[in-house]
Amino acid sequence: MQHVEFIHTDHFEQKYHRVKAAPELALFIDFFWETDFDDLWKQYPEGFSDVLFPNTGYSYLINLGTPFVMQVGDKKFPMKTDGFLPRHKAIECYHKTGNKIFGIKFKTSPVIFEKKINFAEYRESIFPLSYLADAAIIKKTKEAGSFKERVAIVSDYYSKLVRQYSGSLLPVKIVTEILAECDQNNDFSKSVEALAARYNISTRTLQRYFETHTGISTKKVIQILRVRKAVEQLLAAPAQFSITAFNYYDHSHFYKHLKSFLQKSTLQKLQPHLKLLETLHKTEH
């Protein structure tokens, strides 16, 4: 059985604990999450997989149960312990009885204040978490008795780190402000040059900020936001979906862009929705 983000919304809304980060961590962390699969093992005795569309940032995965398999792009990685997961590619996680994962979905990690890390070097694979997260905090998180306790532990840790380095926040503020504005205004067409000029920095500096903090280039991050928002609207309200609202020329332009981010199996799940979109597009003309 395969569950696909945006399509099988009930699964992702009901079978995962999820809570947003506190305001003081909002520059760095989107949300915390944890699997809640106990009642699914009887329904899927052979296991199941969850497919997620490409996203910005990355996730810290803390394994609270048995080994699982994570597919990033077209590569599969057996996960026996904790890991760093880049999110700019489509992913598929294969779950079996006993799996339990706690995750932190980062925009960028405060660890960058303490260690010279360029997240552009962490984007083609899953990496061990030991270098990127405090071992004592991981241990304490695993020993906690609930999702709520785990969120409190890591929130307290990162809040102290952010307050300690509050004077070094300018680059991450620029990155997150640009992404928030693109998302809120559905504006994905501004050039890197125009964005850099707004902050009175060079395009090279802006690119360095994005690659260092998010792992990928300014343009690629914005395009991931664009395709995610377009797919989300298409599936939630197809009759109201507008190609031009996301700066696509036509149906084929959107399809080509979407196809560049997804696996064939995920595209097959989307075909009924894409057919409807094509019908709507022809009706408009």
Residue ranges and CATH numbers for the domains of the chain are: 2-166 (2.60.120.10), 169-285 (1.10.10.60)
pLDDT given for residue 273 in this prediction: 67
- Asked if 19 and 84 count as a contact pair (C-beta separation under 8 A), the reply is no
pLDDT given for residue 249 in this prediction: 82
pLDDT given for residue 239 in this prediction: 79
Q: What is the mean pLDDT of each run of 10 residues along the chain (285 residues)?
A: 90 96 94 96 93 93 96 90 92 95 95 87 86 93 97 96 88 92 88 94 95 92 91 84 83 83 73 64 48
pLDDT given for residue 277 in this prediction: 62
Query: Cα separation of 120 and 252, whole Å?
Result: 31
pLDDT given for residue 123 in this prediction: 82
pLDDT given for residue 283 in this prediction: 47
pTM of the predicted protein model: 0.87
